Amino acid sequence: MYDKLKTYRSIRKYKETPVEKEKLEEIIRAALIAPSSRNIKPWEFIVVKDKKVLGAISKSKVHGASFAKDVPVAFVVIADPQKCDVWIEDCSIAAYAIQLAARSLGLGSCWIQTRLREKDDAVSSQEYLKDLLGIPEKYVVECVVTIGYADEAKAEYSEKDMDFKKVHYDFY
């Protein structure tokens, strides 16, 4: 598994090639079976393929989302925070399941943080995305995960990228 994980890098440049329906369905299945606290699964997913909507998503943050206008597909990960007190963790696990599934299918991905981020001085990323996508008031937005065929190559991680001083055994 380590050999595979060290090649997983955030991809922000994608080919225009659409993601096949079968691969998209496989990623959706992975998201839907992601582990969650007490198996409550407070998350839901909005799969966006519409270019105009992707263009609007690219404007959801001051920095770090502009590349979304050029992606084939994006998953917007949302949750009902009333269902579970650890919805952030649950959504994070589901978002990573999306990324792992995409990578296993030969696709690249990138997490776009939206929770606690701003579109501009007047509107949060969450408010903007909720309005854009018609997300009901009771939901919160955790992140956006972009998916597609990579149009950039990044070096895999090596031992020099790992800070083993951050690992402790039995006690700090």
The domain ranges of the chain are 9-154
Give the per-residue pLDDT at 140: 98
Q: Tell whether the model's pLDDT for residue 4 goes beyond 90.
A: no
Give the per-residue pLDDT at 101: 97
Contact 42, 89 (CB under 8 A): no
Give the per-residue pLDDT at 32: 98
Neighbours of 146 (CB within 10 A): 30
CATH number of the domain at 9-154, out of 3.40.50.300, 3.40.50.720, 3.40.109.10, 3.30.70.3270? 3.40.109.10
Q: Tell whether the model's pLDDT for residue 1 goes beyond 80.
A: no
Q: Tell whether the model's pLDDT for residue 54 goes beyond 80.
A: yes
Degrees to nearest 5, angle at CA 38 with 35 and 42:
70
Q: Which one-letter amino acid corresponds to residue 124?
A: S
For residue 7, give both structure tokens: 């090649």
Give the per-residue pLDDT at 66: 97
Q: What is the pTM of this model?
A: 0.95
Instruction: Provide the strand spans (E) within 49-118.
Output: 73-79, 108-113
Sign of the Cα torsion 46, 106, 89, 84 reads positive
